[in-house]
Structure 1
Amino acid sequence: MRKKLVYRLAIIAILAALSSALRIWMAAFPNVKPITAMFFAFAIVLGLSDSLWIMALTMLATGLLLGFSPLVLGQIIVYAIIIVIFKGLSVLTDNIWFLSALTALLAMIFGVLISFISGMIYGFGAGGFVGYWLAGLPFDLAHAISTFIFFPIVMLILRRIKTLK
């Protein structure tokens, strides 16, 4: 039992470190990040709980390096919401293209929700976030497209690793 817990914690720590390194490495490309696809793939392969831990640790670690603000807590909350939604809907099918399309849609929803939270934090109010979201729409589209592209790649890698175990 203890050995399994140590193994699980090691996997979470290693994948959080990998996700953090990839997020920092890709910082030059706004919203083109493999980590969203990775969090979704982790939810399928490792389970919801481990995926949420990896996501939270990644966002906290990269927040410390890229700039920490109240928005990091908002990112953790919004990521948790979309990962839970994804995990719930992913049981309907294992079709990789449907799941990739779902990840892209959820990445767009991430953009809407994070714009709402940003608007609340930075003083635009609940109704003033629309302009804020529209201004960020190209970044949200880049996020959705990159998540759609990265998800099948990450799933392929994780499934191959899992079969080697």
Structure 2
Amino acid sequence: MSVTDGARSGPHECPFEEDYYAWVAGETAYLRGYRVDATCGECGSQLDVRFGEHTFLFTCPECVVWSDDPVTESSRASALGWRVSMPNSTDLTKWSVYLAGAPAQIEQVPHGIEVRESLPEDGKEYVMHVALPECGQEYDVEANRGESDGE
């Protein structure tokens, strides 16, 4: 099964006591029951994911970026990371995506989206790929004890 096929599988049941519309279980992100697979456009690695309040934090386990630290006047290395704030929708084009605090551009592509943004420190454009559920496979939150998405 390809990564894209896996992302379109579902819906998966929320493993937590409260019925969340987005969660991270193990090393996998889920939105409305569907697996969210994000890969690095630089090296092709599956991105690591953590979850904050209504936010996925994707980081590349392979790619390191350098940024200037104005306090110490030195550069420091950090993992290439994306912060993704989302509404209760599997339409990822409605997400707000940031790379190093700068809003990134989201483009719909076959079977998903591409997110692109440049870092001011190096001017290089970075890309994240996210696989989406097939059209028509929207997870019915109300039928699965969740709340309406308000769309």
Q: TM-score, normalised by structure 2?
A: 0.32
Please state which structure has a larger fraction of its residues in strand: 2
Q: TM-score, normalised by structure 1?
A: 0.30
Please state which structure has a larger fraction of its residues in helix: 1
Higher RCO structure, 1 or 2 (CA under 8 Å, sep 6+): 1
